[in-house]
Structure 1
């Protein structure tokens, strides 16, 4: 069965370009396009549950209703629909607001069509995705919020050991397994074992899902 998608963007040229780039993937079915968040919600309301898009590619800056507000309303009213933010903005605060609103992924529009398709597959399958550069920005943004440190979760309250937390932070920052092994003076195989244990404890299947959990729980504010 093809993955049902929708595209929301107020830039007609970029919207058409994205449609054209994704047309070559036979496993995608475009349900509708919308030009702002309000238009998107109106179209969702007209669809039967069986025809709702599984993934919405959502821009952020739009008239009438921006992508972050639309995402929040979509997650409140159509919980089965996943939202993948696809935007030109890599602003730290916008990343934070999108994650808080319930977005399952955040990519920049200049990603290749293959990367966008891969992100759609991951999100449609219940996963989460943040590109390495976006994940690093999100962690940096949270680390600069001293007023929230008192309410952040203490790493000791997580299911992970201190070494696993250390490795998870490095993985999120885009450091390779080989580099982690060298930094921590452990073997490559030991790093892989730690990562496997991290995924099992967090009940996730990939780095993107682990990243989203770490960001939402603010594990690294004071780590």
Structure 2
């Protein structure tokens, strides 16, 4: 199996030494250098260091992983960047891949998944760790389940005036305030509110607002 040269960027020495030990134990991996931050990575690359993969944390001083990904993708497009971080939020995952990362792992990943990821990316693939993949999948499932609970607004037969009242109720306005905004009497507004409660089969105004948000009638 061809040798995969790896440059490791991690600002916690104990963590870095542990990762380096694991990678060096693989017969086809060679850690060609290990450094504290993105700036040191770039210094080595500009000095001519030969590497196939950069394994980097995101949270580092001087130059963080996000900046490093962007710089490497622009100046050294043949080098593949893999993120290994504690940050598992969707925003960081998306940003990393947008800037050119080929893989994203969280630090509690099992050693065999880390090894698989690097081998897979070295062969030209891309990789997102199981934990985040399942997290994103569950989010999609929850979103679809939420959509399936939503009703068709046309079934409620709400008038345009009732929708105006509903939106203002959702913004926290009182019946009196709504009456002034819509140039209606307070009694008329109260009638529209009661119609909304009846049509949505809600117990009261807070329940009406909750129903409206859950079913996409108001934001």
TM-score, normalisation: structure 2: 0.60
Note the aligned Cα RMSD (angstroms).
2.1
C-alpha displacement at 1:137, in angstroms?
4.3
Deviations 1:130-153 (A, max 9, x none): 02332344578899xxxxxxxxxx
1:34 alignment counterpart: 35
d(CA) in 1 for partners of 2:136, 2:54: 22
Corresponding residue number in structure 2 for 1:126: 124
1:88 aligned residue (86, 89, 105): 86
Q: What are the superposed Cα offsets for residues 57-116 of structure 1, whole Å, 9 maximum, x if unpaired?
A: 110000011101101100100010001101111022111111111110101112122111
Cα deviation 1:186-217 (Å, max 9, x = unaligned) = xxxxxxxxxxxxxxxxxxxxxxxxxxxxxxxx
3-state SS in 2 of match to 1:42: helix
Sort the Cα spacing of 1:142 and 1:66 in 2 relative to 1 into closer, same or farther, 3 A: farther
The whole-number CA distance in structure 1 between the counterparts of 2:101 and 2:23 is 20
Within 2, Cα distance between the matches of 1:21 and 1:53?
18
The answer as to 2:73 corresponding to 1:72 is: no
Unaligned runs of 5+ in 1: 144-223
Choose from 56, 59, 62 the match for 1:61. 59
Secondary structure in 2 matching 1:68: helix
**Which residue pairs with 2:11 in the alignment?**
10
Distance 1:112 1:64, change over 3 A: same
Give the aligned partner of residue 218 of structure 1.
none
When residues 132 and 115 of structure 1 are mapped into structure 2, their CA distance, relative to the original with a 3 A threshold, is: closer
Q: Is the 8 A contact 1:3 1:29 kept in 2?
A: yes
**C-alpha separation between the residues in 1 aligned to 2:12 and 2:19?**
11
* TM-aligned CA distance change 1:136 to 1:114, over 3 Å: closer
Higher Cα Rg, which structure: 2
Q: 1:37 to 1:132 in 2, by over 3 A?
A: same
